[in-house]
Chain A
Amino acid sequence: DADVTQTPRNRITKTGKRIMLECSQTKGHDRMYWYRQDPGLGLRLIYYSFDVKDINKGEISDGYSVSRQAQAKFSLSLESAIPNQTALYFCATSDYKGEQYFGPGTRLTVT
Chain B
Amino acid sequence: DQQVKQNSPSLSVQEGRISILNCDYTNSMFDYFLWYKKYPAEGPTFLISISSIKDKNEDGRFTVFLNKSAKHLSLHIVPSQPGDSAVYFCAASGDSGGGADGLTFGKGTHLIIQP
Chain A residues packing against B (C-beta within 8 Å): 4, 31, 33, 35, 40-45, 48, 50, 56, 58-59, 90, 92, 94-105
Contacts and interface: CB of A to CB of B under 8 A. Distances in A.
A102 B106 contact: no
Contacts of A58: 101-102
B76 to A, nearest CB: 20
B97 A43 contact: no
Size bracket of the B interface: 20 to 34
18 contacts: A4-B43, A31-B99, A43-B44, A43-B105, A48-B101, A90-B44, A92-B43, A96-B98, A98-B49, A98-B96, A98-B97, A99-B49, A101-B46, A103-B43, A104-B42, A105-B41, A105-B42, A105-B43
A94 B106 contact: no
Given A41-B107, A42-B89, A45-B103, A102 B98 contact: no
Nearest to B95: A98
Interface of B: 4, 9, 32, 34, 36, 41-46, 49, 89, 93, 95-108
Given A96-B97, A99-B34, A102-B44, A45 B49 contact: no
B106 A42 contact: yes
Contacts of B108: 42
B43 A48 contact: no
A48 B107 CA distance: 20
A42 B7 CA distance: 12
A100 B42 contact: no
Nearest to A95: B98
Given A42-B107, A42-B108, A102 B45 contact: yes
